[in-house]
Amino acid sequence: MSQATQIVLGTVGVAAVLTILVVFFMALG
């Protein structure tokens, strides 16, 4: 796997986790 692919996957992964956390806290609030 190329370095660019790893960077893209890492960025998408972080964005997904942040989105899930934001939705979770919004649901709680």
- What are the boundaries of each domain within the chain? 1-29
Please count the residues of the chain.
29
What pTM was computed for the model? 0.66
Tell me the backbone φ, ψ of residue 2, rounded to 5 degrees: -75, 165
| Structure-token pair, residue 27 | 């649901």
Longest dimension (CA), the chain: 41
Say what the pLDDT of residue 1 is.
77
Q: State the pLDDT confidence band at 5, using cuts at 50, 70 and 90.
A: very high
pLDDT tens for residues 6-20? 999 999 999 999 999
Q: Which residue has the higher pLDDT, 1 or 8?
A: 8
Alpha-carbon distance 19 to 11, whole Å? Answer: 12
